[in-house]
Amino acid sequence: MLPGVTVLALAGGVTTVLTTGRAFTEPSMSMANTIRPGEVVVVARTTQVHRGDVIVEQQTSPALGDYVRRVIGLPGDHVACCDARGRITVNGKPLNESYVYPGDVPSEVRFKVTVPKGHLWLLGDHRRVSYDSRELGPLAVRVVGRVVLVLWAGHDVLLRTPETFVADGLAPAGDGTPPALVGAEVSILAWLLLIALVIAGIVCYVIGRIRRRRKRDSPSGVVCRPAMPPPSRE
């Protein structure tokens, strides 16, 4: 029964991952150091995004493709750069962007805009090299999903909503563990359990063969004892 349950759990986990998540590879430096070139990102399929989320989005201009950027402003938001301390503000609230690439400033380009309906204000974390809303303006994009995990060289980083958005009430603290990650965890555990069951089965098989061989090679079960010498008469 346990192997059957394990297989079902593995199948369910894989199905959950395939239906609720996708994986992409970041080709550029625009999101460094949050996501470096060559790193794989796991994306939870959703069209609902919050300020501070890192998303994968598609657009038709300036070039068709998938882009990874951070959501700074939602429709109706007033986004500006910069305040007296050089910080970007959203609805008058300054952002302390600890995720910005070391040595970069929040923006060298001054802007003040109200994001129109159906658009997002998107920026890369490596502000000196990112080509984003500062040049393109508010973007009408198709959201593929929200980046929840970054994988590279045997380690993984779970992406959370930056504290600056949560503290200012610009975004919720979190939506819980995405189904894609739950499915991945279930799949990994089920796979490990399945491997353990296979190993246990092999060990039992080998031990059984050894026991059968010993039984086959042993006498019929009669135990012979050496004859005792007759008692001496003195």
DSSP string, 71-90: EEE-TT-EEEE--TTS--EE
What pLDDT sits at residue 173? Answer: 78
pLDDT band for 8, please (50, 70, 90 cuts): very low
Q: What is the pTM of this model?
A: 0.69
- The upper half-sphere exposure of residue 154, i.e. CA atoms within 13 Å in the direction of its Cβ, equals 0
The predicted model gives 109-125 an average pLDDT of 97
pLDDT at res. 194? 62
Indicate whether 11 belongs to any domain: no
Q: Which residues contact 86 (CB under 8 A, 6 or more apart)?
A: 105, 106
For 136, the domain range is: 22-173
Mean pLDDT of 154-163: 84
Given this model, what pLDDT does residue 18 score? 40
Question: Is 76 inside a domain boundary?
Answer: yes
Tokens of 48: 């609902």
Can you give the pLDDT at residue 17? 41
pLDDT above 60 for 6: no
- The rounded distance, in Å, linking the Cα atoms of 55 and 64 is 16
Looking at the structure of the chain, the number of domains it has is 1
Q: Which helix (H) or strand (E) holds 12?
A: helix 2-20
The reply to whether 117 falls in a domain is yes
Segment 145-156 mean pLDDT: 82
- Mean pLDDT of the region 140-144: 92
Q: How confident is the model over 73-107, as pLDDT tens digits?
A: 999 999 999 999 999 999 999 999 999 999 999 99
CATH assignment of the domain containing 98: 2.10.109.10
Is the residue at 27 inside a domain? Answer: yes
Q: What is the per-residue pLDDT across 11-66, written as a single tens digit (0 to 9) for each?
A: 443 343 444 457 888 889 999 999 999 998 889 888 899 999 999 999 866 667 88
On whether residue 209 sits in a domain, the answer given is: no
User: Per the domain annotation, does 206 fall within a domain?
Assistant: no
The encoded tokens of residue 194 equal 């399945």
pLDDT of residue 134: 96
Query: Does the residue 159 lie in any domain?
Result: yes
Most confident of 4-8, 110-114, 153-157: 110-114
What pLDDT, on a 0 to 100 scale, did the predictor assign at position 9?
39
65 within some domain: yes
